[in-house]
Amino acid sequence: MRGTLLYSSVLVALAEAQQLYLTTTGYTERLQCTQPAASPEYSFRPFSYTLNETVRYATSVPAPTTTQTYAAPYSEAVKHLTTPPATTTWGSWLPGQTDIPATDTDDPYGQAAWSSLWELADIKNYTTTGLYSTTASPTPVPSSELVLPPRNYFGPTDCYNFPDDFVFGVAGSAAQVEGAVGLEGRSPTIQENLATIDQPKNYVTNENYYLYKQDIQRLAAMGVKYYSFSIPWTRILPFVVPGSPVNEQGIKHYDDLINTILDAGMQPVVTLIHFDSPWLFVSSDNFSATPDFGNANGGYHNETFVDSFVNYAKIVLTHYADRVPVWFTFNEPFLYSFNFTGANNVVHAHAQVYHFYKDELKATGKIGIKFNDNFGVPRDPTNSSDIAAANRFQEIQLGLYANPIFLGKQYPDSVLETLPGAKPLSEDELSYISNTSDFFGIDPYTATVVSEPPETFTDCAANHTTANTLFPYCVVQETKTIHDWSIGYRSHSYVYITPTYLREYLNYLYNTFRKPVLVSEFGFPVYKENEKEELSDQLFDTPRSIYYMSFMSEILKAIHEDGVHVMGALAWSWADNWEFGDYTQQFGLQVVNRTTQERFFKKSLFDLVDFVGARMGS
């Protein structure tokens, strides 16, 4: 008990200084026996096979008995839109189509104008569509697929439970699982031209756009409670800007998806934009076939971005806020607003959407924003320069948004002194933006070892040319500790298994930004899993199970031993998906056959759901 209390006290004290460093004891201290070992006595005895396998099945989510609402239905909420948009439908953009060209060339939002978006975007290698063209009816999940796999020999030894309101589920995003990119009125996004000519594209992926009913049924059968997904802006508003018509097919699709989730006994979590900025925002002159990706930054810097995004968000919220308990405005905006103008636009747009949701719709669900940031830990915790580097690393990625949104504080000095064009927010802006997130969403896949740069922070910040590979962080990032050990067990990508650093990170976030923390993504692509020839070898993914079990165990410790309010955790991803031009990094909890679109449960999904299920309740 004394050790636990001391540990917690140290964490709280360090959190206030925004400098957290974790030490752990060795295994020997945890293996002390209460009784001295007796000398063994050897003897012969009759042998029989006794290790009979106990068959256990996944427990499905129970059917709902009531439906909770969080806002007025669309028929009432629509009055909060200044001018309710018109709705219409468009056709599909198919590879090598020979349809008669549209003749409504005088209509700025007609079929001809919609088709021209795809022509001008000049999507490369668009030669493939999927197996499905209509929504597939679900089939029951056979009980044979729900038999739990053998347990891992070693596992968590905690005795804690998750709070009753803990949000646990799985996540995915439209661009990475839906496919059907040119079908049913959707217009182009940055993702269709993101991958190089020889990389896989997002034209088909998991065909979740037509297979969502089956996907939801499979997850419900496994006992998953929350399903996090994103709604593509261009599926709802193909022409993006305020005043343009709404795609009726898109509205009906996500209406049915949400109802399907609820009917299965699950709960929806919705992200408004997840790396699929409309093509109109990332093209050089809004209608160019050659966008400047070096400066596009997802289009967040566009002068019309804020008004357009807020308009899109209002349309989505008025339609679905009554049934969705948790919303994210932006996913990991730092990766797509890699300049000050873009980041500043995100902060303002987010705040406007929050106020619309809370002040106008009077919605009672939760709405927030989610960030990327592999926790920056100092290479040498006794070196003040490395500590400063770690703090700077957090400020550049998180403080840029979180200071004003959560604390009503100015942008960090490190941001104002580093990003070209950066300028402080006014007092009125800070007052409006402050406290506009109900939780702190974070995607803490792993940790990063950080140290001071060869030059000073100031010199690095002043050198923002492409030759400066450290800009804008202006710190050295590594994956090895000061003793030259890897920070953890390595995956197929940048992710390392770093559970103790996760606990430290949760302490940092909660004590710094003073809001419940929602782990909105975390996952682990097993090394060369895609190269395993036997399906059974891919399914028995022990390293991924270890990742999830250790991370969830540390979340429990953060809750119960450190007093950190962790609101929930959403595993990435519910199935192997399109990782932005790559299928080799398999983050999924299910294998997907790319030829047949069949899904197969991995061991890690059973282990993760079983772990949480056994620890829910007081």
**Residue 608's CATH number:** 3.20.20.80
DSSP per position, 553-565: HHHHHHHHTT---
Q: Is the pLDDT of residue 121 over 50?
A: yes
Is the pTM value of this prediction over 0.85? yes
The answer on pLDDT for 305 being more than 50 is: yes
pLDDT digits (tens, 9 = 90+) for 400-418: 999 999 999 999 999 999 9
Cβ contacts of residue 307 below 8 Å, gap of 6+? Answer: 242
Please check whether residue 11 lies inside any domain of the structure: no
Query: Taking 80 as the threshold, does the pLDDT of residue 33 lie above it?
Result: no
Total domains present in the chain:
1
Q: Which has the higher per-residue pLDDT, 614 or 280?
A: 614
Residue 118 lies in a domain: yes
Closest CA to 143 of 206, 218, 72: 218
Q: Which residues contact 568 (CB under 8 A, 6 or more apart)?
A: 166, 167, 168, 169, 226, 518, 519
Tell me if 457 sits within 8 A of 428, measured CB to CB: no
| Residue 398: both structure tokens together | 């998180």
What is the per-residue pLDDT for 12? 38
What's the confidence (pLDDT) of residue 303? 81
Question: pLDDT at residue 127 above 90?
Answer: no
pLDDT of residue 32: 53
Mean pLDDT of the chain: 90
How confident is residue 606, by pLDDT bands cut at 50, 70 and 90?
Answer: very high
Q: How confident is the model at residue 396 (pLDDT cuts 50, 70, 90)?
A: very high
Residue among 475, 478, 524 at smallest CA distance from 497: 524
Which tops the pLDDT comparison, 129 or 398? 398
Q: Is 259 helix (H, G, I), strand (E, B) or coil?
A: helix
Contact between 507 and 11 under an 8 Å Cβ cutoff? The reply is yes
* 447 assigned to some structural domain: yes
Measure the CA–CA gap between 552 and 533, rounded to whole angstroms: 30
pLDDT of residue 239: 95
Residue 53 lies in a domain: no
Q: Both ends of the chain: CA-CA distance in Å?
A: 21
Residue 1 has pLDDT above 90, yes or no: no
- Please tell me the predicted confidence (pLDDT) of residue 323: 98
Average pLDDT estimate for 333-346 = 88
Judged against a pLDDT cut of 50, whether residue 14 lies above it is answered with no
377, part of any domain: yes
pLDDT attached to residue 129 = 83
Q: Which domain holds residue 343?
A: 74-614
In a domain, 527, yes or no: yes
Determine the pLDDT at residue 527. Answer: 97
